[in-house]
Structure formats: structure tokens, C-alpha cells
Structure 1
Amino acid sequence: MKIVEFIDFHINHFKKYKEKWNYEDGCVLKGALDLYHSTGEKKYLDFVQRYLTETITEDGKIAVYEMEEFNIDNINSGKVLFDFYEITKEEKYRKAIEVLYQQLENHPRTQEGSFWHKKIYPNQVWLDGLYMAMPFYAKYEKLFNASKGFGDIYQQFMTVERRIKDAETGLYYHGYDESRKERWSNPDTGLSLHFWGRAMGWFVMALVDTLEIIEADFSNAEEIKKIFVETIDALLKYQDKASSMWYQVVDQGTREGNYLETSGTLMIAYGILKGVRLGYLPENYRTFGQKAFDGTVEKYLDTENQQLKGICGVAGLGNVPYRDGSYEYYISEAITPNDYKGLGAFLMAYSETLAYNKDNDNSADVSK
């Protein structure tokens, strides 16, 4: 079974990750929309539209969505609404966009101005949240608010660089607790203990997707671009030579229990490939992204059983039972084939290989 057939199988058999509005579905929706833009094939657009038809009412209400949760993850699935508003001009999409923007307007923040990850995680910034919110926030500002919020977006990225980046490795820790109250946080720095692969992937995608939106209209975009390039360079030092993948705990290599993880690898691959396409990275970096995608396909894509393997199902910090951010914690979480965080990243990364190959007739066939 070729990659396209694998993708079509999962689109045709798609079931919502949860009954309520959720970010996991949004990963697949974004990937499908990327494929539509890369291929022009309407089946991908139709898939996203079917989902939205089931989820967004005619008056713009989002089914099973609670703004008062102030969960930054809930912004993610709204990214696809912009395209559908532009394509259809249907007001229900604009109204749903406004609902999610209203959440951002009222979302709790740290004293330094960063969005809390969730109301249940006060004073905390996780790398995940930058991907969930910033590209949506930037797109809204560009289309509907004369880019007035770009400065706020910029400041939140700068705060993350200042607070969460590790000076020695150039990598970023999974989370930061401004209050230093959580057991997982370093009492001096507020930082969690480790560099989680998917958190790095979320961060890379947040940077490249936001840059794509703001670059032409924002003078400080170059500073965000610098963070992006430096982050990719830091990650390349830890790319596995044999598989071209990244590990679940990025800097721990072959330490007992660590494993080459699919979702984080594909997110980073997407970021590199897109970064090259948009001119943020030199052309020779494309090989690093393509090899990461190809290495993941070779190691973990089981086309006989329609499975994408090697995906960490979930990982977080705090809550009940308590997640302490230790190495042992990250390697203990279940590996879940076809989890939507990995599947969505697969669609996104594959779409970037196609976007490149469209312009390069002599490129190798990546659909095998």
C-alpha cells in the first residue's frame, strides 16, 4: 500500500478523537488541508468540510466546546476555519473564529504576559501551547485586526526563549511554572526536567507556521526566524545517524528505555522542509527533513495493517496521577499506533515533501 492509500484509508475511516472539540482532531484536519494545498485534490478539502459541518452550527457555535475551561489546546482545531471562511464566505466560520479569538482575549496569562496552558495548570507555559495558539492568533490578527497583536505574539515567543531555552544545548524544556509551585518544576528556574521530543516538535511547528503568517508584515519577524534557525541547528545535533529520527527524550539517545519517536520526528521534519521551502533555512537542510520523514516511514509505517507506529500517546506535567517530568515518566507513557498527533504530523510532513517535489521534476518518488 502506498502512502496515499494509507492516508486515504485513515481519512475514510476517521472517527473523532473525543466527542468534544479537541486539538487532536485539529492535527489531522490541518494535515488534510495542507495536503489539499499541496495536491489540489478536493477529497482532502471535502474531508475537512464534512468535519466542520458536523461540528459548527449555522450560527457559528462550536459543538461541545467550553470557553471557560481556558484550555489553550482548544484553539488548535480552529486554524482550518480561516480557509473555509475565505473559500465559502459563510458567516458561520467567521463567527466560530470569533468565539475562539474571544477565548484568547480573555485567556489567563502569566505575569510576563504568556498564555497559561490551561486554567487547571495556572501560571504554566508548555511548548505545546505555542503551537496550539500562535498560528491561529497570528492569522486572526492579519485578516481581521490590522496585525495589531503581532507584538504580543512576538513577546510570547521572546519570553519562551528567555525562560525555557537551555543555554548549553539550545534545546527547550517541556514546561515552565512561573510560580515554582509544581513538584515537576525546578525551584530556582521553574523549568521541567527534560527535553521531550514532541514538545520540541510543537515548538518548531509553532515557529514556522507563525513566521509564514507574520513575516511580510512585521519588522521583528527576523528575531523569531533567528529562534527557529537556532532551534533547528540545536536539534540536528541529536538527530539519530542511522534512522534520521529523534528520540522520545531528545538528548538521552540510547539510554535504556528511550526510543525513536514518530510524532516529534515528523513535526521537526515538517518544520525543516517548510522552513527550506519558505526560505528560512538553506536549501541543503532539506535533506535533514526528508531523511527524517523517510526514516520514519521505513521504521514505523506498516502499510499491511494501516498502522503508523512509534507514537507516544500522551505526555504532560502534573495533574492526577501526578506526572513528574522525570526521564522514567516520559518513557513510561504508552506507545499508541495511529494516534492523531502522529498521524496529523505525518500528513503535514508528507504535504511538504509534495510541495517541494511539485517544483522539482527530477526528485525521487516519495510515495512508495
Structure 2
Amino acid sequence: MRILDNYIDQLLKKSTPQAPVWNIEKIKNGAPSTWNYIDGCMIKAILELYHITRNGKYLEFADAFIDYFVQEDGSIASYDPKEYNLDNVNAGKTLFDLYELTGREKYRKAIDTVYSQLKGQPRTTTGNFWHKMIYPNQIWLDGLYMAQPFYMQYEVTYNNGANCQDSFEQFLHVYDLMKDTRNGLYYHAYDDSRESFWCDPVTGLSDNFWLRALGWYAMALIDTMEVMPGSMAQEKEKLGAIYKELIDAMLPYQDKETGMWYQVVNRGRIKPNYLETSGSAIFAYAIMKSVRLGYLDESYFTFGERAFTGICETYLSEENGELQLGGICLVAGLGNKEMREGTFDYYMREPIVKNEAKGVAPLILAYIEILLREKAGTQE
């Protein structure tokens, strides 16, 4: 799959912090580049590429990209912590790596800037972070990935683990509140107040099982477990059991031909449902990584590898001399009564795009797991 090396280089050569070609949301909206979770996903993947390849071009690109936003005093251009949007925490994960790799003090200060948001983030009655200030009382699976790995890493690295238990308990509440006990899947979102037009007035839950949201949740679990302190062995074991339950619930829905999953996971035979790249890539990455870390046994690796291979065979193609990755849902959420009501039809009508970081970044991370596997094999 060295073709992916060429694809990554193609994207990097055409991108700057002011105009990353993988941020299709910004391009479609004609909006200026800002501190955002989409670029955060991509830069995190590029840093992971640096770690395995030690190719300086990846570190140089990531450093220059984040440097563009982070000021010497640790403030971050276009980012206001008091907006209380969990999506904006995600790019903060890159700062840990960059501070360690470059020693630039402004990155250390910027870590505190991002953490200041979580200290003030409004919470539900269960103690979970609101997904955004503009979505009061709501928990979205997406938000666990955006915030919890950063939160746990900060606590372990800079706060003597003071709030690690808080992060752990937020996962437990999601397990209790958002999981469907009949099929083991999780609903996209939950409204603690039961006031949103899209939620069930009794359960507070949205209507469907959206693939990428489930993927964000899987990544949140595996990436948070990875940085949990040794003193939380029992808590890690509990999250590991929750994670395995999730993967075991997803595997019956894996497409037999491609190894991918459908946009609305449990309705694969209903048109116009489609095999979706970003969520499938996330599960490919999560499954292979969790085998490497020992959270799943060896037999699971093939499920992640099949998804990775299926994505490349189904959606990676060449057009006009350039590689293209298709099948990526641009965005999906809940809110705005006319547009985002969480029905099956809603998830079908969101745009499908190419070369968007929400699909590209997890595919790179899955690719890295393949490379790590090959590397481990040669060392045996």
C-alpha cells in the first residue's frame, strides 16, 4: 500500500495552514482557516507518521501548521476557550507531541489554554461535558473523541492525575445512557433535558446509529485507555470491556465483500445507504491498534485489516493523474430543525465528498498500524 505514501505527499504539497486541501467544509463554505478539529485530526495523523518513519518532512509540516495558530503567549488565533465547543479541544492533542519534539514553550502554554476550556465546560446532570455551549445539555459520541484523550493526557502529564476519574466516569455514563442493549450499538446523541426536537422525549436519545459517531467513540476509548496511568488498572479493564463489547456489536454489520460499514450501521440493505469511508477507516484503525496494545486478541486484527483494504479497493482511485479518496460523509450532527433531525433520510442527504480529512486522517492512522505490524514482524 505504498501508494498511500504518494497520496499523503500529494495532499501535503497542496496544503498550507491558510488553505488545507483536506478541509472540505471550509472550502465549501468559503470560510477562512481556523483552529478546528478537522485539521487537528490530520495533523495528529501526520505526527504519527513522523513517529514511525522519522522522516523530518512530516514533523516540519506539522510544526509549521500548528505554529501558524499558536502565539508566543500560548493563545491560539481564532480559538476562544469560552465558546465551550468540544470540537475545538481535538487539535490540542497535537500540542503534547509538538512540545515534546520541539521544546517550544509556546506549545506548553497553549496546552493550558485548551485545558482552560475543559475547566469551565458546562456539564449535564450526570457530570458529562456539554458537546457545545450552543447545544445545551447534550452529549454526542463525537465529543468523547474530541475531548477525553486530551483531558486524560493532560491530567496524567501535568496535573498528577487529579481528574482522571472524572474522565473515566464520563465514559461510564455514556455506556449507561446511550447504548442500545438490544444490539450493542450506541445512539449518536443524548439530550439530558429531553427538550431537543430530535430526541425521544422519554429516553432523550436520537434516532439512529451513525457510523462515524460510533467510530469517534471507539477511538475515544482506545486513545484514552492508551494514556491512562498505571494506577487505574481496574478502570482501564472496565473501559477495555466496554470497548470489546462495542467491537463485537459492530462486527456482525461489517460488509462481507468489502470489510467496510454502512453510513447508518444497522440499515445496510435500505437504499440509498452506502459504505462510508471515514467511519470504516476509524474502525480499521481502532481494531488494529487495540490488538497491538493487547485490548483485543490477535484474531481481531483481520477485521481491521479487511476494512482498510476494502476502503482502498473501493474508494481510492486515480483521476487526472492524482489520487482521490471518496465515499466520505462531509458532516453530520443534530440540531437546526429544518436540516439536522437525525432521521435515516437526514444521514443520507448529507454530502459525500473526496479527500476530506475526516476520512483521510483515520486511513493514515490505519496505514500506520499496518506499518507497525510489518515492522514488528521483521524484528521477530
Scaled by the length of structure 2, the TM-score of the pair is 0.93
The separation in 1 between residues aligned to 2:229 and 2:208, in whole angstroms, is 31
Q: Deviations over 1:238-267 (max 9, x none)?
A: 100010000000000121110000000000
Matched residue, 1:7: 8
Matched residue, 2:284: 269
Matched residue, 1:306: 323
Matched residue, 1:43: 57
Matched residue, 1:72: 86
**Seq. identity, %:** 50
Q: Provide structure 1 residue ranges, at least 5 long, that are not aligned to the other structure.
A: 364-368
For the 8 Å contact 2:37–2:87, the answer to whether it is kept is yes
The separation in 1 between residues aligned to 2:371 and 2:98, in whole angstroms, is 22
Q: Deviations over 1:70-105 (max 9, x none)?
A: 100000001010011112222100110000000000
The separation in 2 between residues aligned to 1:320 and 1:8, in whole angstroms, is 41
Q: Deviations over 1:81-133 (max 9, x none)?
A: 00111122221001100000000000010011000010000000000000000
Matched residue, 1:148: 162
Matched residue, 1:346: 363
What letter matches 1:314 in structure 2? V
- Specify whether residues 320 and 194 from structure 1 end up closer, same or farther in structure 2 by C-alpha distance, changes over 3 A only: closer
Range 324-333 or range 42-51, more displaced: 42-51
- How far is 1:322 from its partner? 3.5
- Secondary structure of the 1:237 match is helix
The separation in 1 between residues aligned to 2:208 and 2:337, in whole angstroms, is 20
Please list, as runs of the form range in 1=range in 2, the aligned pairs for 1:205-244 lying within 5 A after superposition. 205-214=219-228, 216-219=230-233, 220-244=235-259
For the 8 Å contact 2:99–2:108, the answer to whether it is kept is yes
Q: Is residue 134 of structure 2 the alignment partner of residue 120 of structure 1? A: yes
The separation in 1 between residues aligned to 2:352 and 2:231, in whole angstroms, is 41
Matched residue, 2:332: 315
Q: Is residue 33 of structure 2 the alignment partner of residue 29 of structure 1? A: no
Q: Once superposed, which parts of structure 1, at least 4 consecutive aligned residues long, lie more than 4 Å away?
A: none
Matched residue, 2:218: 204
- Secondary structure of the 2:329 match is coil
Q: Deviations over 1:248-306 (max 9, x none)?
A: 00000121110000000000111001000000000111100011000000000013432
For the 8 Å contact 1:276–1:282, the answer to whether it is kept is yes
The separation in 1 between residues aligned to 2:173 and 2:91, in whole angstroms, is 25
What letter matches 1:164 in structure 2? M
The separation in 1 between residues aligned to 2:57 and 2:294, in whole angstroms, is 29
Q: Provide structure 2 residue ranges, at least 5 long, that are not aligned to the other structure.
A: 27-32
For the 8 Å contact 1:301–1:309, the answer to whether it is kept is yes
The separation in 2 between residues aligned to 1:89 and 1:5, in whole angstroms, is 30
- How far is 1:218 from its partner? 1.1
Count of matched residue pairs: 363
The separation in 1 between residues aligned to 2:57 and 2:206, in whole angstroms, is 42
The separation in 2 between residues aligned to 1:346 and 1:234, in whole angstroms, is 22
For the 8 Å contact 1:39–1:354, the answer to whether it is kept is no
- Secondary structure of the 1:218 match is helix
Matched residue, 2:268: 253
What letter matches 1:226 in structure 2? A
- How far is 1:45 from its partner? 1.2
The separation in 2 between residues aligned to 1:261 and 1:216, in whole angstroms, is 36
- Secondary structure of the 2:190 match is strand
The separation in 1 between residues aligned to 2:231 and 2:364, in whole angstroms, is 28
What letter matches 2:85 in structure 1? N
- Specify whether residues 200 and 207 from structure 1 end up closer, same or farther in structure 2 by C-alpha distance, changes over 3 A only: same
The separation in 2 between residues aligned to 1:57 and 1:330, in whole angstroms, is 38
What letter matches 1:67 in structure 2? P
The separation in 1 between residues aligned to 2:81 and 2:72, in whole angstroms, is 19
Q: What root-mean-square deviation, in Å, do the aligned CA atoms of Structure 1 and Structure 2 show?
A: 1.4
- Specify whether residues 48 and 217 from structure 1 end up closer, same or farther in structure 2 by C-alpha distance, changes over 3 A only: farther
Q: Deviations over 1:189-220 (max 9, x none)?
A: 00000000000110010000000000533131
The separation in 2 between residues aligned to 1:39 and 1:56, in whole angstroms, is 26
Bigger relative contact order (CA 8 A; separation at least 6): 1
The separation in 2 between residues aligned to 1:90 and 1:313, in whole angstroms, is 34
- Secondary structure of the 2:139 match is strand
The separation in 1 between residues aligned to 2:55 and 2:187, in whole angstroms, is 39
